Amino acid sequence: MSQINVTNLTFSYEGSFDDIFENVSFSIDTDWKLGFIGRNGKGKTTFLRLLTGNYAYQGSISANTTFDYFPYPVTEAQRNLPASAFLEELKAGCEEWRVICELAQLEEDAEILYRPFRTLSFGEQTKVLLAVLFSGENDFLLIDEPTNHLDQTARECVKEYLASKKGFILVSHDRDLLDACIDHVLVLNRQTIDVQSGNFSVWWENKQRKDQFALSENEKHVREIRNLRQAARRTAEWADKNERTKIGYDPIKEHDRGNGTRPYIGAKTKKMQSRVTQMKQRIDREIEEKEGLLQDLEKTVDLKLTPLSHHKSRLVNIRDYSLQYAGAAHPVFTDVTFEIQNGDRIALHGENGCGKSTLIKVILQKAGIASSDMAFSEEGICETASGLVISYISQDTSGLTGGISDFCERKNLDQSLFCAVLRQLDFERVQFVKNMEDYSEGQKKKVLLAASLLTPAHLYIWDEPLNYIDVFSRMQIEKLLLEYEPTLLFVEHDVRFRERVATKVITLSPPSR
């Protein structure tokens, strides 16, 4: 057990307008299972890269440990080889027998080490890299978003595996995973950094309580400042009015006024002016106490959606539908049956490779939304209502290049409205002048989400829309969907999101072989 001490850490990317970290200090223990929480673009991955020495920074990071980072970069050449051929290249000193032991804990057979890495599923690739990561000894492990693109079965396996380990920082926006795997949290707030014991739910409950206290204190200070200002203004007016009576008076009305009256009035005025000064000092103290109360308040703005109403109640009809790629030995799926009615929010669920994204692409093709170069044969019925308008989010963000204005022009979006929605999704204005290829993965996903939200549609089809999206924005989108109740077909492996949003779950299973 040892400490990692961060002292006065300051870092910004070369040519950037803003600091990612500024005079940040905190300490963590290498024996902890630490969850790393924060908004997209706040610097979670950057901090992990700072620990591994990738960037130069100001301040100090002291640690008596070696860091190792997940995911390992796998080159194109390595992807054509079995993992057993390049284990040593991923992690110096890696021993194959240790990796095999870790794979057993991940409920995977050692044979996946001897198949070309490219042929492995997302889940299998992730498990191989995690097994390599944990095959060492005494390293403090930095795990960055290990469950993106993984199906529910693989997520459950990774969750149980990580829960049995210790000595790591886990970056994830999956609330279920964080609750199961961590015993401390490191939180990048808006202005400060917190380190607390407990899992995500414990931290979230504490945060809500803290935010409510800050709001109550803020309201109390606002009332006190308002009352003090009113009292100061009245007292100042009385003092000024009293001061004006020192010179000149009506001898008939003030026949009892003597030579000592003027000094008396001056002393009384001075006392009243002193009271005004004291009130202003109290106002300054109240303002000082008020400042900072709301600096870390995560107040999400309610998003809006403009779904269209279709004249037909049934928008998509799928009956006994099977699909097989040309040249493939087996069908992707068989005998799929369901329909999408107005107001349905249907979650497609199933293991990686069961055909969820394929089915979505077929529906888009049937609706004339997108062309496809997929060569396949089909049986059964897959039809869409005529004139159906679909707003689609792909799980792929690689096509996002150029600036915001170029993107809006290509998508025929109002740029000012688009930027307003991004601001509601907690985009900082400084991001608007950057090229989108320089965005974090979470920021890229928000670009796709904002574009979809601004597109009126009969049917919204979202393919893994929450990958890399921070937990606050996930809750924000949950609230939007529950309020506006659009017709939605989506794929999402976040269990809590699916449980809250879906009105129906359709499970696709690969045919038995």
Q: Pairing relation of β-strands 314-325 and 333-341? A: antiparallel
**Confidence at residue 324, expressed as pLDDT on a 0 to 100 scale:** 86
Instruction: Identify the band that residue 301 occupies on the pLDDT scale cut at 50, 70 and 90.
Output: confident
- Say what the pLDDT of residue 237 is: 73
Taking 80 as the threshold, does the pLDDT of residue 440 lie above it?
yes
Q: How confident is the model at residue 338 (pLDDT cuts 50, 70, 90)?
A: very high
370 compared with 86, residue with greater pLDDT: 86
pLDDT tier at 224 (50, 70, 90 boundaries)? Answer: confident
Question: CA 226, 228, 232: angle at the middle one, nearest 5?
Answer: 120
How large is the average pLDDT for residues 288-307?
74
Q: Between these two residues, 45 and 122, which has the higher pLDDT value?
A: 45
* CATH classification code of 314-507: 3.40.50.300
- What is the rounded distance in angstroms from the CA atom of residue 389 to the CA atom of residue 393? 14
Comparing 150 with 10, which gets the higher pLDDT? 10
- In what helix (H) or strand (E) does residue 326 lie, and over which residues does it extend? none
Top-confidence residue, 298 or 500: 500
pLDDT band for position 320 (cuts 50, 70, 90): very high
Q: In 3D, which of 396, 392, 383 has the Cα closest to residue 490?
A: 392
Average pLDDT value over all residues in the chain? 86
pLDDT exceeds 70 at position 187: yes
One-letter amino acid of 63: A
Q: What region, left, alpha or beta, does residue 134 occupy, with left being phi > 0 and alpha being psi -120 to 50 degrees?
A: alpha
Mean pLDDT score, 242-252: 56
Please report, in angstroms and rounded to a whole number, the separation of the first and last CA atoms in the chain.
49
Cα(203)–Cα(198) distance, rounded to whole angstroms? 6
Whether the per-residue pLDDT at 169 is higher than 80: the answer is yes
Helix axes 122-133, 96-105, angle to 10 degrees: 120
Buried b (16+ CB within 10 A) or exposed e, 363-378: bbeebebeeeeeebee
pTM for the predicted model, two decimal places = 0.76
- Residue 235's pLDDT is 74
When pLDDT is averaged across residues 230-246 and rounded to a whole number, the result is 69
Res. 498: pLDDT tops 70: yes
How confident is the model over 338-362, as a mean pLDDT?
Answer: 91
CA 418 – CA 439 distance, rounded (Å): 16
Q: Quick check: 100 pLDDT over 90?
A: yes
> What's phi and psi for 269, nearest 5 deg?
-65, -45
Query: Over 90: is that where the pLDDT of 212 sits?
Result: no
What pLDDT is recorded for position 144? 92
Rounded to whole angstroms, how far apart are CA atoms 465 and 444? 11
pLDDT of 239? 65
pLDDT in tens, 379-413: 999 999 999 999 999 988 888 999 999 999 999 99
- Model confidence at 373: pLDDT above 80: no
pLDDT bin (cut points 50, 70, 90) of residue 217 is confident
Where are the chain's structural domains? 207-290, 314-507
pLDDT score recorded for residue 291: 65
Please give the pLDDT value at position 421. 94
Instruction: Write down how long the chain is.
Output: 513
Task: For 470-508, give one letter per residue: b (16+ CB within 10 A) or e.
Answer: bbbbbbbbbebbeeeebbbbbbbbbbebbeebbeeebeb
Binned at pLDDT 50, 70 and 90, residue 246 comes out as low
285 pLDDT tier (thresholds 50, 70, 90): confident
Position 371: which residue type?
Answer: S
Does position 19 have pLDDT exceeding 80, yes or no?
Answer: no
Helices (H), 291-403: 356-366
Which of 63-77, 80-94, 266-280, 499-513 bottoms out in mean pLDDT, i.e. has the lowest? 266-280
Supply 135's token pair: 């095959």
Per-residue model confidence (pLDDT) at position 219: 82
